Structures are given as structure tokens and as C-alpha cells.
């Protein structure tokens, strides 16, 4: 049985091809405005990596906010369920999943891979990957550099605006006040973690806590979350594909 | 001539009997522009949207009934913006009919000043028509909860409204029974939001001012014999209307009402307008009561006009997956 999971998020498209409990291949691409095209592209690329043809794939499950646009999928499931299942597949004793994507962040209470409860952030970008991207842009940094830089800071500045647009001007004014970039960045990561933990307290935080989504790769955010909850979190080797993995697991029956 | 009103506790029967067209004002699809000069963006968007309508559309006057704090202050803002406004002091604590009767008598005088005469005959006729509409909607909702119709009838002549409901009833198809979700909250004047629930596979039941709270009443059993009697009938009709969190009842009527509605539902969604204090104050306690009953509970916050339906869709579909 070979199954594929396709996660069309607000920023990236992800695909995982699974056989039994073995990941044959995966890939991540930035989404294009045409979601159907993004879905086909990510699927074909991953097939190529796995050395498979379309016909060899038995089931395709779509997830992510563009799930309705994957016309060749057999089934669509929300990313809430998929992140829970994907996390459970990798870390069986997961109790809480924190998925920080580009547009949404979600906290999901899980038991044996089943969703008990969940909360999502509101439509604004504060507390999401987009927020960090805007701040990185304002500082002229690449998104991949952010985490390491934040860890180097000895002091953290406070970013108190809840709105992305205002927070950006806060960052700019810190810059003009001559503050160090890493201290500002550490403040940005702290702000993200703070919002998440406030949200998470609505469903409760139970061990193990698994971080998923692209922002889980940001070491600054990870550290800030760990400090706030008081214990270590688990991050899968490629946290950004956990939703797609969950979809593939669901498709495998 | 249109007389706008916002709250389902407004005695629209009296407005209609005076020859005006009662028109329930909701936030629309239009973005909020003019209203921003009067109300901050961190307040209820139903209030902001209603003010936007008041500033852009043609109304003779507006009638408020004492409700939440935001609507009370909205009365002042409407006045400040130069609108003709009357505020009926609906008692916050339900019980004293004599007091409310005096309020209604004053209101009849106000309508007379506005050029509308309320007679015993016209009021009884109006009561009859609205009751026919309410019974019709109740029937329609027992087959298929049709929110588009429930919203529309609040903005047209009651006689046309009765005809519309009749037509809808003829073609209504019974909704499948499960899984069923109870949607509770204040107003949601966008039919597309209810569609999201159906598209996710839910059948719907509601406790909303744009749904059953518009037509669920326990009617008084006496026949009015004079104008005062008819006004007394209205006072009692609205006292025993489906309860709302802005009112105080002797018993725990509001919670009991919601809990009863939830009994045959698989999940309960609090569909709340951001910054809606009365509903948010009740939310934690009501949520835990419902969870004790074994219901899955989700909170969805709305801001009008609703723009990002896809995020709402994800929440609803995820809830559906959770109860599977
Ligand atoms: N190497 C990296 N280091 C740090 N952060 C990263 C890295 N790669 C991606 N990100 C962050 O991940 C975000 C995208 O995450 P992801 O791909 O999970 O989002 P998505 O699934 O498209 O969005 P959503 O789930 O909200 O619809 C980016 O905004 C960026 O902030
Ligand atoms: Mg995602």
C-alpha cells in the first residue's frame, strides 16, 4: 500500500509518500497563487523523488487550507486532524501539538492520535510564521538565520504590539535607537511564544508537546516556548511535513 | 417609511400598527467606512455595521430596546449623528409587567408624534400577522432551518414575509438528522456561514437572534379587549420570548434553555461576534455545563463583514472530524 499526503498551506505546499511506516519521499515548495497547479507540481516532484508513477499510488489525501483545490485527491481532511495523526505517528506519546504555520497557529490536544480539542489563532498574522517573515524582512535577514541569531542574544527586547504592522514599526524604531539585531529578533520570538502559550492555555498543555509547522525549525521560538512551559518540547526531524505525513497515514487505511 | 431596530425584543408589532415598516438593521457585506468616525474598531462589528447602514441608507427613525451596553451607547451615537431615535427601556430584570406596560404606552405616544396612529384594531391585526409569521417560521425550521429566509423576513412587510415563508415551506426538504450541531450566539446575518456547517456534513439547530430567537415565543393565553390589553399582551409575549444573555431571569432560564436545546445535538458551537460581552461572560460556565453533558464545544469568533470564510470552514470541518 502506497499513499500520498498533500498539504497545501498558506505559504508552502508539502507532499509525503508513504509505504507502510516508511517515508519514501517528501518535498516542500512555496505555493503559487494557483493552488491546483501547486498541488500537481508538489505531487509530481515527490513522485519523481520516490521513483514512482502516479498509478503506483493507491490513495491520495489532501489537507491544509487549499485542500479543496486538490482535485485529484480521494479525500480531504483538515490540518487539525492531520497534524495530530502525523505527530502521533512519529511520537506516539504526544499529548499536545503546536503547529505554527504561515497564516495559522494551532494548538491541538491529542490522545492516542485522536483530537480531543483544539484552538486556532484568529485571522490576523500575529503569532504566525508570516509575522516572523515580516520582521526578518524589516531587518534584512533570511528566515533561516532568525533562530540561531535569537539564541545569541544576551538580552531580549519587548515587542508589545499585537498587530504585525505595528510590531514592524516597533522593530524599525528599535533599529533606529541602535539596538542589536539579535536582541530584537529574540524579542520577536518571545512575542510569538507568548501568544501561543496564551492560546494553548485554553486547551491545556499536556506532555509530550510536539512542535510542527515551518516555524518549529526556528530555534529562537522553540527555546522561548520551552522556557514558558518549563519543560522540553519534541521537534520531528522535518516538522514542516507533519501535516502531509498525517494525511498520508490517514490514506493508508 | 422604514423604522430601523436592532434587538429582537423590540415590539415591532406596535411599529407596524402605526403604519411604519419595521426593518431589522444588520451589518452588511459593505466594509465599515463612515461608522469608523464614531465607533472604534475594537467594538462589536454588528454595532459598527448597523451604524454604517444608518449613515448610508434611508430610515425615518430608529427604535432601540435596552439590551447590551454597546447597543445602549449606540443609541447615543445615533442621536449624535443626527438620527431620529427612541429608546424603550426594556427591563433588564424580567418580571414587572406594569412597568413595561407604561413604557409601551409612552412608545405609542412617540409613534403618534412621528405621525403614526396606533389603534386597538390595527395593533390586534399586527399581532395576528406577526404571530402567523412566527408560526410559519417555526414550521419551516422544523423541516429545514432556512437562515436566508429568517433574515430576509425581518426586513420586509410582514404580509410579504408570510407569503415568502409559505413558498419556502412548500419546497423545503427535510434535513438529515445527524450529526447535529447547536449554534449559539447573538446575530449572524450571513447565510453563507450556515452553509459552511452543512457543507461539513452537519445539520443545524440554533439559539441565535438571526434564527430561532426571532420567532420562539410562549404566547400569553388571554385575548386582548382594548389597547391597554393589547399592549399588555405584547409585554408578556416579550417577557416569555426565547431568553437572551442581556436579561436577568428569576430562575436560570437562559442556561436551562440552551442546555435543553443541546440535548439532541452532538456538538455546540459558540458563534460569537468579537467583543460581544453578554455572550462571552456566559461562555465559560455554559461551556463547562455542556461539556459535562458530553457535548463537544467549539468557539468561533466572527467579525462583520465576514471575510475569511476558509478559516471558519477549517474550524467547522475539524469539529466534524473530532466527533466522528
Ligand atoms: N528553515 C526555517 N527556519 C525558520 N523558520 C522557517 C524555516 N522554514 C520555514 N520557516 C517558517 O515557516 C513558515 C511556513 O510554515 P508552514 O510551511 O508550516 O506554513 P503553511 O503550512 O504553509 O501555513 P498554514 O498552516 O498557516 O496554512 C514560514 O512563514 C517561516 O516563518
Ligand atoms: Mg500548515
B302 located within any domain: no
**pLDDT score recorded for residue A107:** 95
* Closest-approach residue (CA) in chain B for A113: B322
Would B169 be classed as within a structural domain? no
Per-residue pLDDT, averaged over A211-220, amounts to 97
Looking at the 3D structure of chain B, how many domains does it have?
A: 1
Report whether pLDDT(A123) > 70: no
Q: Which residues of A touch B309 (CB under 8 A)?
A: none
Taking the CA of residue B52 and the nearest CA in chain A, the distance in Å comes to 23
Whether omega for the bond prior to residue A208 falls within 30 degrees of 0, making it cis, is: yes
pLDDT band for A253, please (50, 70, 90 cuts).
Answer: confident
Cα B169 to Cα A133: distance, rounded to the nearest angstrom: 52
The β-bridge relationship of strands A22-30 and A12-19 is antiparallel
If contacts are CB pairs under 8 Å, which of residues 264-323 in chain B contact chain A?
A: 301, 303, 307-308, 310-311, 314-315, 317-318, 321-322
Chain B nearest-CA distance from A184, in A, is 28
Is the pLDDT at B269 greater than 70? The verdict is yes
Mean pLDDT over residues B73-86, rounded?
Answer: 96
* Cα A144 to ligand 1 centre (Å): 10
Domain presence at residue B74? yes
- Report the alpha-carbon distance of residue B153 to residue B92 in Å, rounded: 27
C-alpha torsion angle, residues A126, A116, B183, B88 (rounded to 10): -60
Give the CA distances from residue A83 to residues A241, B80, B204, B321, in Å, rounded to whole numbers and listed in that order: 9, 51, 28, 13
Confidence at residue B77, expressed as pLDDT on a 0 to 100 scale: 96
**Does some domain include residue B100?**
yes
A1-91+240-253 domain in CATH 3.40.50.1360? no
Gap between the Cα atoms of A102 and A85, Å rounded: 20
Higher-pLDDT residue of A159, A24: A24
Q: A239-252: buried (b, 16+ CB within 10 Å) or exposed (e) per residue?
A: bbbbbbbbbbbbbb
> Do the domains A93-235 and A1-91+240-253 match in fold?
yes
What pLDDT shows up at residue A164? 78
**pLDDT surpasses 80 at A52:** yes
Mean pLDDT of chain B: 96
pLDDT digits 0-9 by tens, A152-175: 999 899 888 777 788 888 888 998
Question: What is the sign, positive or negative, of the torsion defined by CA atoms of A47, A50, A55, A61?
Answer: negative
Q: At residue B109, does pLDDT exceed 70? A: yes
CA distance B315 to chain A (A): 8
The average pLDDT across A205-216 equals 97
Lowest mean pLDDT among A56-70, A175-189, B231-245: A175-189
B268 domain residue, yes or no:
no
Contact across the interface for B311 and A79, Cβ inside 8 Å = no
CATH of domain A93-235: 3.30.420.40
Distances from the Cα of B12 to the Cα of A53, A175, B157, angstroms: 66, 59, 11
Confidence at residue B36, expressed as pLDDT on a 0 to 100 scale:
93
- In this structure, which residue's CA is closest to atom 25 in ligand 1? A101
- Has residue B142 got a pLDDT over 70? yes
Structural domain boundaries, residue B44: 2-118
**Bridge partners (DSSP) listed for residue B299:** B270
Q: Which of A80, A84, A119, A243 has the highest number of chain B CBs within 10 A, making it the mutation to test binding with B? A: A80
Closest A-chain CA to B274: A122
B58 within domain boundaries: yes
B322 vs A79, A104, A115: nearest CB:
A115
Mean pLDDT of A221-240: 97
As given in the structure block, the three cell numbers for residue A242 are 507533519
Pairing of strands B203-207, B180-185: parallel
**Does A61 have pLDDT greater than 90?**
yes
Residue B119 in this model has a pLDDT that exceeds 90: yes
- pLDDT for A82-93, tens place per residue? 999 999 999 999
Task: Look at residues B193, B211, B206 and name the one whose alpha carbon lies nearest to residue B306.
Answer: B193
Tell if the CB–CB gap between B322 and A79 is shorter than 8 Å: no
Residues lining ligand 1, CB < 6 A? A 9-12, 64-65, 101-104, 129-130, 132-133, 143-144, 146-147, 213-215, 217-218, 240
Look at residue B290 and tell me if it is in a domain.
no
Domain boundaries, chain A: 1-91+240-253, 93-235
From A12, A129, A188, A211, mutation site for ligand 1 pocket: most ligand atoms within 8 A of C-beta: A129
> Phi and psi of B63, rounded to 5°?
-120, 125
- CATH number for the domain that contains residue B34: 3.40.50.11890
**Per-residue cell: A22:** 516508511
Output the CA angle A138-A144-A148, nearest 5 degrees: 95
Amino acid at each position: 500500500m502506497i499513499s500520498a499526503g498533500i498539504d497545501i498551506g498558506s505559504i508552502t505546499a508539502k507532499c509525503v509518500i508513504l509505504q507502510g511506516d516508511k517515508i519514501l519521499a517528501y518535498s516542500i515548495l512555496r505555493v503559487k497563487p494557483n493552488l491546483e497547479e501547486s498541488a500537481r507540481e508538489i505531487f509530481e516532484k515527490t513522485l519523481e523523488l520516490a521513483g514512482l508513477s502516479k498509478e503506483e499510488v493507491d490513495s491520495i489525501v489532501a489537507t491544509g487550507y487549499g485542500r479543496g483545490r486538490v482535485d485529484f485527491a480521494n479525500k480531504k481532511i483538515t490540518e487539525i486532524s492531520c497534524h495530530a495523526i502525523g505527530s502521533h505517528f512519529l511520537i506516539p506519546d504526544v499529548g499536545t501539538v503546536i503547529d505554527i504555520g504561515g497564516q495559522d497557529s494551532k494548538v491541538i490536544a491529542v490522545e492516542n492520535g485522536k483530537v480531543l480539542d483544539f484552538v486556532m489563532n484568529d485571522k490576523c498574522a500575529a503569532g504566525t510564521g508570516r509575522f516572523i517573515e515580516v520582521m526578518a524582512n524589516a531587518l534584512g535577514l533570511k528566515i533561516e538565520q532568525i533562530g540561531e541569531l535569537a539564541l545569541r542574544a544576551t538580552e531580549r527586547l519587548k515587542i508589545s504590539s499585537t498587530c504585525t504592522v505595528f510590531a514592524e514599526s516597533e522593530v524599525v524604531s528599535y533599529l533606529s535607537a541602535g539596538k542589536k539585531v539579535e536582541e530584537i529578533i529574540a524579542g520577536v520570538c518571545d512575542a510569538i511564544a507568548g501568544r501561543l502559550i496564551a492560546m494553548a492555555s485554553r486547551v491545556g498543555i499536556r506532555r509530550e508537546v510536539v512542535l510542527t509547522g515551518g516555524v518549529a525549525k526556528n530555534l529562537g521560538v522553540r527555546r522561548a516556548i520551552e522556557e514558558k512551559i518549563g519543560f522540553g518540547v519534541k521537534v520531528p526531524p522535518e516538522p514542516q511535513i507533519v501535516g502531509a505525513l498525517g494525511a498520508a497515514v490517514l490514506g493508508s487505511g | 417609511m422604514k423604522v430601523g431596530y436592532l434587538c429582537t425584543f423590540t415590539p415591532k408589532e406596535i411599529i407596524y400598527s402605526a403604519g411604519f415598516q419595521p426593518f431589522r438593521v444588520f451589518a452588511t457585506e459593505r466594509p465599515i467606512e463612515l461608522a469608523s468616525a464614531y465607533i472604534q474598531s475594537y467594538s462589536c462589528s454588528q454595532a459598527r455595521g448597523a451604524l454604517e447602514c444608518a449613515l448610508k441608507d434611508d430610515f425615518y427613525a430608529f427604535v432601540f430596546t435596552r439590551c447590551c451596553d454597546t447597543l445602549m451607547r449606540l443609541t447615543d451615537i445615533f442621536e449624535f449623528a443626527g438620527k431620529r431615535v427612541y429608546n424603550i427601556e426594556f427591563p433588564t430584570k424580567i418580571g414587572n409587567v406594569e412597568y413595561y406596560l407604561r413604557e409601551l404606552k409612552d412608545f405609542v405616544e412617540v409613534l403618534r408624534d412621528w405621525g403614526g396612529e396606533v389603534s386597538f384594531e390595527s395593533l390586534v391585526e399586527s399581532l395576528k400577522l406577526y404571530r402567523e409569521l412566527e408560526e410559519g417560521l417555526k414550521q419551516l425550521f422544523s423541516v429545514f432551518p432556512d437562515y436566508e429566509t429568517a433574515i430576509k423576513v425581518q426586513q420586509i412587510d410582514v404580509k410579504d414575509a408570510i407569503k415568502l415563508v409559505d413558498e419556502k415551506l412548500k419546497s423545503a426538504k427535510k434535513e438529515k438528522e445527524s450529526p447535529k450541531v447547536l449554534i449559539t450566539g447573538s446575530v449572524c446575518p450571513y447565510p453563507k456561514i450556515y452553509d459552511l456547517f452543512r457543507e461539513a456534513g452537519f445539520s443545524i439547530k440554533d439559539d441565535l437572534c438571526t434564527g430561532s430567537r426571532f420567532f420562539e415565543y410562549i404566547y400569553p393565553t388571554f385575548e386582548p379587549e382594548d389597547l391597554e390589553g393589547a399592549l399588555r399582551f405584547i409585554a408578556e409575549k416579550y417577557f416569555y420570548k426565547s431568553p437572551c444573555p442581556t436579561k436577568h431571569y428569576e430562575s436560570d432560564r437562559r442556561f436551562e434553555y440552551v442546555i435543553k436545546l443541546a440535548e439532541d445535538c452532538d456538538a455546540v458551537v459558540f458563534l460569537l461576534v468579537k467583543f460581544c460581552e453578554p455572550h462571552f461572560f456566559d461562555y465559560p460556565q455554559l461551556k463547562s455545563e455542556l461539556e459535562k453533558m458530553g457535548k463537544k464545544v467549539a468557539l468561533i469568533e466572527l467579525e462583520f463583514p465576514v471575510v475569511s470564510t476558509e478559516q471558519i470552514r477549517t474550524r467547522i470541518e475539524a469539529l466534524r472530524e473530532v466527533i466522528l
